[in-house]
Amino acid sequence: MNDIKITPAILPHSYKGIEIPVERVLGAVTNIQIDIVDGHFSPNRTWLFNNKDEDTLEAIYEQEKGMPYWEELNYEFDLMVKDPVKEMEMFIALGPAKMILHVEGLEQEKTVAFFEGLPEIIRSAIAFGIAINIDTDPVDIAPYLPYIESIQCMGIKNVGYQGQVFDERVFDQIEKVRSMYPDKFITVDGGVSLDNAAQLVEAGARELVIGSALFLNTDSRGTIDAFRQLCNNVVISQSGN
């Protein structure tokens, strides 16, 4: 039996915008997802693309500083970026354990060439996933299958913002992804709450990426525990059937 992975998501507009929420969940999780939006893939624009804290960013590049609590946490970057391959050197320099590329923002030939040319040292250090919007045909993921370990189904229509309304069409999307790519780990990101978490796990999700439902709650660690217990009860029930 595998526990469901609970990953807090942060949509930061500054380095401090990562540091403060990380402190609220430190010790409760091992992974944090940072949502990075370039203003083109989605109209929003976050840290790395809003010209804030450039001195801090330069210190990280020079290895004089790291991501907050980097020795205790693994960072995953959700790259809501048009043509992320163009900026990949910058993302890699920040030391993520995983990067998620949104299929709608990719140039297929360029992206496949990037994956094919990855040095082994990077390939062994960074995992990759593909995210898919709720209206996108999962067949678009197929060219990238040899290079990814997970597929992230978006649970909201308008990506790049937190606090969006959950879109129940994601259940159909999960079913399609499970049917087409049964060996891939399925993540759901966007609109995840204690009201829909169990149903998402029943549908096939094995990781829930959670933003507002955690950080708008004054007891973020307790909320993580509640999600974990709820989801793992579903797994126990499934294993008994």
pLDDT bin (cut points 50, 70, 90) of residue 241 is: low
pLDDT at residue 44 greater than cutoff 90:
yes
Which of 173, 232, 202, 221 lies closest to 210 in space, CA to CA? 221
pLDDT at residue 136 greater than cutoff 90:
yes
* Span 202-212, average pLDDT: 96
Collapsing DSSP states into helix, strand and coil, what is residue 31?
A: strand
Question: If you search the block for the tokens 């999600």, which residue do you land on?
Answer: 227
pLDDT at residue 6 greater than cutoff 90:
yes
Mean pLDDT of the residues in the chain: 95
Q: Are the CB atoms for 68 and 19 separated by under 8 Å?
A: yes
pLDDT at residue 84 greater than cutoff 70:
yes
pLDDT of residue 161: 87
* Span 187-210, average pLDDT: 97
Query: What is the rounded distance in angstroms from the CA atom of residue 79 to the CA atom of residue 88?
Result: 10
Question: If you search the block for the tokens 């990037």, which residue do you land on?
Answer: 114
Q: Are the CB atoms for 153 and 185 separated by under 8 Å?
A: no
Query: What is the rounded distance in angstroms from the CA atom of residue 96 to the CA atom of residue 73?
Result: 10
Q: Which CATH class is domain 5-240?
A: alpha beta
Which of 105, 93, 98, 96 lies closest to 37 in space, CA to CA? 105
| Secondary structure of 158-217 as H, E, C letters | CCCCCCCCCCCCHHHHHHHHHHHCCCCEEEEECCCCCCCHHHHHHHCCCEEEECHHHHCC
The H-assigned helical ranges of 6-99 are: 16-25, 54-61, 88-93
Which of 15, 6, 30, 21 lies closest to 217 in space, CA to CA? 21
In the chain, where the domains are located: 5-240
Reading the block at residue 16, the tokens are 């401090």
